[in-house]
Structure 1
Amino acid sequence: MVDTIRIGVTGLGGLGTPLAREVEAVDGAEVVAVADVSDENRRSAAEEFGVPDRHRYESHEAMLDGADLDGVAIATPHTLHYEQVVAALERGIDTLCEKPLCVDLDHARDLVRRSEASDAALMVGYQRHLSPAFRRAREALDERVGDPQFLSASITQDWITHQRGTWRTNPDLSGGGQLYDTGSHVLDALLWTTGLSPVSVSAQMQFDDDAERVDKQAALDVAFENGAVASVGVSGDAPVVREHLDVWGENGGFRVRGSDWGERDLAFVDGENREHASDHDGEYRDKGRAFVDVIREGAEPPATARDALKVTAVTEAAYESARSGRRVEVDLRTEPRVEAD
């Protein structure tokens, strides 16, 4: 009989509660502790998941020290992720952190080094790694596309209307705007499905604040090591949710399409301009189930700290480019940066 996987969840005001429901739906897994600075969030989640009073914590660190955990899921504001992940890894606890993993490039580098030196797993909440459409596109890249040369990706969403006044438009908590929020998924999907290494970014943005810290629209031109180029658009001021990813190479291309937040459709286009519906199969595996599998089987997480480093590096370069008006190099080194004297 396999022992029950015991999970703690930090941050119950938004994504944390759905994550906890996903964990609870897995046979042999249970949410046994919750942490949140909000009394109401703690109480509501604890009552839903049957967490006793002694394992309802205001502090993330107190939960890590006070509860017997196999894993912890972190769904707090973005700028809190780094210290909370470090605290879990230092205690040897397997960790699922919602995206973006970090909004600071040095922090992202540090978490790559820490996670790869630790016996504890670090999984990042990029769910497109679990989507049959995106997984099949990645698996078939060499055969159906060849060496990628042109990429186009975008997402639209009525983000700014719904997020004004929340922590997601407070850059001290969010690290930025729409590009660091929903846009992070689009960049990850593009980078992960192709495996390309970005080398530079030029970006234009529309900001929602005078300090130019919270973007609501972003257009990125990304160059890659193999010579490929990508056009990426992220709109947080549109009436509907639409997402696309197109990748083209010497053999043909693939197209991923979707609306709202359901599963995406995949089609391949061959060199004769014939479109073929994807032959991908398999059900979508949610993040909670995937995290339990990582803990139980000791497998590599579907999305890793190295995946997250790429996204943070491109995102930070894009913000710098938009503010400075110049093209900015993408730095994917994992060693600490050394400042010149």
Structure 2
Amino acid sequence: MTNTEAEDEESIDTHAVTEPLRVGVVGGGFIGTTVGGQFREHDDARVAALVDVDETTLEVAGAELDVDADARYTEYETMLEAEPLDAVLIGTPHTLHYEQVLAAIDRDLHVLCDKPLTTDLERARELVELDREREEVLMVGYQRHLYEGFRRARELWATEGREPSWITAEVGQDWVDRFEGTWRRDPALSGGGYLYDTGSHLLDCVLWSTGLTPEAVSASMNFVDDERRVDGRATVTIRFTNGATASFSMSGEVPCMREHVRMWDREGAVALDSRDWESSEYVEIDADSGEYRPRMRTEDRQTKADAFVEAISTGSEPPATALDGLRVTAVTEAAYESARGDGSFVAVAPDNVSR
């Protein structure tokens, strides 16, 4: 072996020996245990600490994630001060995200934050600016960025000469009855209703797949509370700067989950359909040659933890960025403003949504 070969082999070995990413899980509910479980099973990560305000949840989730009793906390700041972490997974109610992301940024930690990034436009803009100034990863938990169907749609609309002009999207589930009495129907914690919960994913997948820039938003909503803060159904229209329109219909008052998205231009369309939270089926429609249904490799799809660790280890951009989160918050806040008013179009400032 030459000296150069020996030096190359030593370099490779040195880079291969890395410590697992030490992740602190914030919130022991569905996101904390599901995505936290992905970190627990990951070769290059481990759940080092857990925080939840509820003692019972803390005990159950701690056992499920194999977190030692002395690394379980009821206060977020205490965990950050006590534990030598590399990253945090934030799976708490929506309105808590901003303060928790900000505290992690202040400590130079990588952050995987469940959607939405925030429920406040100015705060979302602040996090985007902070994210641009640092090297650590801030990823938002919009999982459709990992689905092959939406990735294919994004590639198609990035093709020269292709740009959607008419978009329809709908999603429904048994949300209103299922989450009665929970934080999801408490606007102090959720920031709104069905639009800020499952509806957030639908807005995001269209914005991300098309790459279009929203210009104005109009909405009507059926509110389930007297204060008109929690919507059970929402109809949202987005006008884009290229003249395209997107119509969204979202209902939390139907018996089962279904999602349907159609994006058309002059040559054809893409159609994406999902049921019961499975990966979306994908069809390309050509005006001349008919339909094309490629085989979807769902078994190869990255988990959120996979994508997050990869972005950190390679220094690459995560699948869903803080700017993606800002774009969704800007549209969502405009929709609530329109629906609580007279339904007129509300302008979306370019600096909130431009890439």
TM-score of the superposition, structure 2-length normalised? 0.91
Query: 2:252 is matched with which residue?
Result: 236
Indicate yes or no: 2:287 matched with 1:271.
Answer: yes
Read off the aligned partner of 1:210 and give its amino acid letter: D
1:240 alignment partner, SS class:
strand
Q: Is the 8 A contact 2:93 2:184 kept in 1?
A: yes
Deviation of 1:148 after TM superposition, in Å, equals 1.1
Indicate yes or no: 2:349 matched with 1:331.
Answer: yes
Q: Is the 8 A contact 1:310 1:332 kept in 2?
A: no
Query: 1:296 is matched with which residue?
Result: 313
Bigger CA drift: 134-143 or 14-23? 134-143
Q: Distance in 2 between matches of 1:330 and 1:297?
A: 34
Bigger CA drift: 87-96 or 113-122? 113-122
Q: Distance in 1 between matches of 2:129 and 2:159?
A: 33
2:204 alignment partner, SS class:
helix
Deviation of 1:251 after TM superposition, in Å, equals 2.0
Which one has more relative contact order, counting CA pairs under 8 Å at least 6 apart? 1
Indicate yes or no: 2:268 matched with 1:252.
Answer: yes
Indicate yes or no: 2:39 matched with 1:23.
Answer: yes
Cα 1:142–1:299 shift into 2, 3 Å: closer
Read off the aligned partner of 2:242 and give its amino acid letter: N
2:237 alignment partner, SS class:
strand
1:285 alignment partner, SS class:
coil
Deviation of 1:62 after TM superposition, in Å, equals 1.5
2:29 alignment partner, SS class:
coil
Bigger CA drift: 96-105 or 15-24? 15-24
Query: 2:338 is matched with which residue?
Result: 321
Q: Distance in 1 between matches of 2:135 and 2:106?
A: 10
Q: Is the 8 A contact 2:33 2:65 kept in 1?
A: no
Read off the aligned partner of 1:315 and give its amino acid letter: T
Q: Distance in 2 between matches of 1:280 and 1:139?
A: 15
Which is higher, the Rg of structure 1 or of structure 2?
Answer: 2
Indicate yes or no: 2:184 matched with 1:206.
Answer: no
2:351 alignment partner, SS class:
coil
Indicate yes or no: 2:170 matched with 1:160.
Answer: no
Query: 1:55 is matched with which residue?
Result: 71
- Aligned-pair RMSD on alpha carbons? 1.6
Q: Is the 8 A contact 1:37 1:59 kept in 2?
A: yes
Q: How many residues align?
A: 335
Q: Distance in 1 between matches of 2:33 and 2:149?
A: 26
Cα 1:129–1:145 shift into 2, 3 Å: farther
Deviation of 1:244 after TM superposition, in Å, equals 1.1
The C-alpha deviation readout for 1:51-73, integer Å capped at 9, x for no partner, is: 22321111112212211111110
Which residue, 64, 71, 91 being the options, matches 1:75?
91
Read off the aligned partner of 2:119 and give its amino acid letter: V
Deviation of 1:50 after TM superposition, in Å, equals 2.5
Indicate yes or no: 2:351 matched with 1:309.
Answer: no
1:212 alignment partner, SS class:
coil
Deviation of 1:281 after TM superposition, in Å, equals 4.1
TM-score of the superposition, structure 1-length normalised? 0.95
Q: Distance in 2 between matches of 1:10 and 1:101?
A: 15
The C-alpha deviation readout for 1:96-131, integer Å capped at 9, x for no partner, is: 000011100001100100111122210000000011
Cα 1:54–1:199 shift into 2, 3 Å: same
| Percent of residue pairs identical | 45
Bigger CA drift: 87-96 or 5-14? 5-14
Bigger CA drift: 102-111 or 144-153? 144-153
Q: Is the 8 A contact 1:113 1:334 kept in 2?
A: no
Read off the aligned partner of 1:195 and give its amino acid letter: G
Q: Is the 8 A contact 2:94 2:116 kept in 1?
A: yes
2:101 alignment partner, SS class:
helix
2:181 alignment partner, SS class:
coil
Read off the aligned partner of 1:48 and give its amino acid letter: E
Cα 1:145–1:126 shift into 2, 3 Å: farther
Q: Distance in 1 between matches of 2:252 and 2:160?
A: 32
Read off the aligned partner of 2:320 and give its amino acid letter: A
Q: Distance in 2 between matches of 1:145 and 1:181?
A: 34
Indicate yes or no: 2:280 matched with 1:286.
Answer: no
Gaps (5+ residues) in structure 2? 1-16
Read off the aligned partner of 2:122 and give its amino acid letter: D
Indicate yes or no: 2:20 matched with 1:7.
Answer: no
Bigger CA drift: 182-191 or 49-58? 49-58
